[in-house]
Structure 1
Amino acid sequence: MTLLRDQALACRDAAPAIAALDTAAKQRLLHRMADALLADTALVLAANAIDMAAAQQNGTSTAMLDRLRLDAGRLTAVAEAMRHVAGLPDPVGLVTRRETRPNGITVERVRIPLGVIAMIYEARPNVTADAAALCLMAGNAAILRGGSDAMHSNLAIAAALRRALREEGLPEAVVTVIDDPGRDAMVELLQLTDIVDLAIPRGGEGLIRFVAEHARVPVIKHYKGVCHLYVDRDADETLALDLLIDGKTSRPGVCNALETLLVHHDIAASFIPKAVAALHARGVEVRGDDATRILAPEVRVATDDDYAAEFLDLVIAMRVVPDIDDAITHIRRFGSDHTEVIATCDSAAADRFVKALRSAVVMVNASSRFSDGGELGLGAEIGISTTRLHAYGPMGAESLTVERFVVRGEGQTRHPV
């Protein structure tokens, strides 16, 4: 038996202790975890400094360094997110439907924990705390396998969370961190069908594909975010420009950042020069089609690969489209079912855009950066599912439960006895 399997078994065996907690106990635990995390601020930031130094030495991009970096403010935000999760409605035990059948039996649909959730992620050490909080609030145990780039940060955060578990008299194993960053360990984890109930990968396209190809356990994919902004012919140009700048430049290295701008032909001559100038002023490289480059000759040539790319950097692809239907066709071809935005003053165009696209999140006159569990009222998020299974879009605590049937009767039998 391997060390990893031993760790996973311990996590599974500890899971009932979390599933048995009532709402008040889970809330108390998450608040204690948040306190422990803040108490260890100096230790966590020192560990993060080691990871940051190694990443810089390895030539990691600026956008990815931003994902990795922690400071006191960000750590405070992580703790506040945990407190916010504690204040959300408890999904465990929620009766979502109840009906009485003609024979008198009562049929209920009740939410219960999934069990053991394996979270596999890269960079972003805040995921260690977010995933733990959401799993625990939903009554689950968590196996956390972060990448080597954030290993020191992840272990420091986990140490604080596990100390809080001890102080609450709960088994530390309900939050288990795998400190082996090797691919072999990941494959072993993904094949523990008798232990792991669900795996959620969160990271780059390469990680997602690796997990999907090697997993024997169920997987919900947090696939790449090729997010689009379509500026309709009837858009408010000032509003559209604000959505573009916020969506592309506020944090280009995150999955809800804009990667492609589509502009209706009728508004292109007015909007594109302003958009390109504003993007260039903020250091964004713009790549466009021929129609874009006629209006802004300084723009580089875009290829189909650019329209399919999740740049995660200060780069954006741009295209002029003849109408909303062509914009929808482009998104269907190149999109990743993550987040799409329309800027328009035409409610019919907005409705057409919303109904025609199946992406997990569709925005009307709002920034793509709102495609986030915290911003959409879920507290922290464990990821944004682009897999149309039991959860789709930003996943909070409720998405980490499933419905089962509870039937109550008074001795009814299906056949005479």
Structure 2
Amino acid sequence: MSDVRELAHTAKQAARILRRCTPEQKNDALKAIAYALEQERDTLFEANQRDVLQAQKNSAPPHRIDRLTLHEARLQEIIKGVHHVAALQDPVGECMEQIDHANGMRIEKVRVPFGVIAIIYEARPNVTVDAAVLALKSGNAVVLRGGTEAQKTNKALIQTMRRALQNTSVPSEAIQFVDDPDRKSIDALLGLRGLVDLAIPRGGAALIKRVVETARVPVIETGVGNCHIYIDRFANPEMAIAIVHNAKCSRPSVCNAAETLLLHRACMDTILPQILSDLTAAQVELRLCNVSYDRFIEKFKAIKRATESDYREEFLDDILAVRVVNSMAEAIAHIETYGTNHSEAIVTEDSERADFFLANVDAAAVYHNASTRFTDGFEFGFGAEIGISTQKMHARGPMGLRELTSYQYQIHGQGQTRL
């Protein structure tokens, strides 16, 4: 895969130029990208339609087609994200910490770009733009390897962005695209120590596992989202219904959607029937634990009995597993067993119980009386996100500009020498 090596080498050279660009020059480049995406919308939609039609011919599941589809509203959301990133403070050069040495030296811990970041992802066209603009703003060149289902869309997006950069101070070579559909191209990219400074996978469990186990370069693991909503015995019923509906139904195909509902036994005959009615009307397939299934099968004929594997599943679809628990401790134990350290939520009016849940659930984002759907870089004020990290080293949760920088120590002296 010598072509992949050449792409990374070109990106490395571009990264050296990009590192010297001012915040104003990088912002001008991002605004040029936003303008070009708007102007070339018809070309982008045409390329995406070809990808969607091919995916339909290949009988791709609905959630994959949903993720693949680029329409006007999503394009506007992408463009809005580009402008938002341009408006954010540039993290490069920020002094994170200052130490005044006893001998008079000033030691500063300063944010710097990684250099070259490889992004390996599946059929999400928005990732192509989000990854590129976040990388550029944080001073990094990027090598993109998207899913083969979105090949035409990604190529059109990258060509548009690179053309936009040609009249700016940011080199167009700072965005590179691996268009080889062979999975060996991923392995080749992940083996380029010295050229690729960081790899970030975005996608399903199989892709993430492959990247983590194959890479010879540093990796930030973005995780699968098996997210839970726990309805506590002191929950407000109306709030619980609204949060569960939003977490499951607003966009089922994304990683921050709820996949399992945990509900305290005290709420089984009060809140649960209302939730089942609401989700049934929304055409959500419900898979209930034995206790709740036996209680409600006569009233809700379409419900199914859950299997143990259902609680491990990231459905990414209009499907929700349900389990009644006897205590908060049992709910937390369930999350510890089946969760993926992504996003978890409790609905309760008892602040002490909420604090206990937040302190004892191991996840990147933990919510009290709010939907898990807010685990998102744009919602957190990052403009866009490069992914949602479920690991604990370097970055955790939605990763924006700061998470795409490393740091170096810059020491200012007046001729000091060490004894």
Q: What range describes the TM-score normalised by the shorter chain of this pair? A: over 0.9
Cα deviation for residue 413 of structure 1 reads 2.1
In the alignment, residue 73 of structure 2 is paired with which amino acid? G
- Tell me which stretches of 4 or more aligned residues in structure 1 moved more than 3 Å: none
Alignment of 1:52-131 (within 5 A): 52-131=52-131
2:379 corresponds to 1:375: yes
Aligned to 2:307: 303
- Cα distance between partner residues in 2 of 1:36 and 1:115: 25
Give the C-alpha shift of residue 170 in structure 1.
3.6
What is the CA distance between 1:104 and its match in structure 2? 1.7
Whether the 8 Å contact between 1:259 and 1:317 is mirrored in structure 2 is: yes
Q: The residue matched to 2:358 in structure 1 has which SS? A: helix
User: 2:152 is matched by which residue type in structure 1?
Assistant: H
Aligned to 2:25: 25
**Match of 2:188?**
188
Equivalent position amino acid for 2:18 in 1: I
Match of 1:173 in 2: 173
2:289, 2:324 within 8 Å by CA — same for their partners in 1? Answer: yes
Q: 1:160 aligns to what? A: 160
Give the aligned residue type for 1:412.
Q
What is the Cα deviation at residue 380 of structure 1? 0.4
Match of 1:389 in 2: 393
Whether the aligned pair in 2 keeps the contact of 1:273 and 1:295 (CA below 8 Å) is: no
Q: CA RMSD in A?
A: 1.0
1:182-261 superposed matches below 5 A: 182-261=182-261
Secondary structure of residue in 1 paired with 2:321: strand
3-state SS of paired residue (2:415): coil
Alpha-carbon distance in 2 for matches of 1:47, 1:344: 47
Q: Secondary structure at the match of 2:270?
A: helix
Query: Post-superposition shift, 1:101?
Result: 2.0
Structure 2 match to 1:316? 320
Partner of 1:35: 35
SS across alignment from 2:166: helix
**Contact kept in structure 1, 2:29 and 2:169, CA below 8 Å:** no
Give aligned pairs, total.
Answer: 415
2: CA distance between counterparts of 1:93 and 1:234? 48
Alpha-carbon distance, 1:22 to partner: 1.1
TM-score, reference length from structure 1: 0.98
- 2:359 maps to a residue whose letter is K
SS of the equivalent of 1:340 reads strand
| Structure 1: distance between partners of 2:16 and 2:127 | 23
> Post-superposition shift, 1:280?
1.3
How many Å separate the matches in 2 of 1:302 and 1:104? 67
Q: Any unmatched runs of 5+ in structure 2?
A: none
- Structure 2 counterpart of 1:112, one-letter code: V
Distance in structure 2 (CA, Å) of the matches to 1:169 and 1:96: 27
**Which runs of 5 or more structure 1 residues have no equivalent in the other structure?**
none
**In structure 1, distance between residues paired with 2:365 and 2:42:** 37
How much has 1:173 moved relative to structure 2? Answer: 1.4
Query: What is the Cα deviation at residue 165 of structure 1?
Result: 1.1
- Structure 2 partner of 1:364: 368
Whole-Å Cα distance in 2 between the matches of residues 183 and 117 of structure 1? 18
Task: Name the structure 2 match of 1:267.
Answer: 267
Asked if structure 2 preserves the Cα contact closer than 8 Å seen for 1:63 and 1:251, the reply is no
**C-alpha separation in 2, matches of 1:398 and 1:153:** 28
Amino acid at match of 1:97: E
Distance in 2 of aligned mates of 1:20 and 1:350: 47
Q: In the TM superposition, what whole-angstrom CA distance separates every residue of 1:267-303 from its partner, at most 9, and x where no partner exists?
A: 1211111111111111111111112113321431112
Tell me if the contact between 1:260 and 1:317 (Cα under 8 Å) persists in the aligned partners: yes
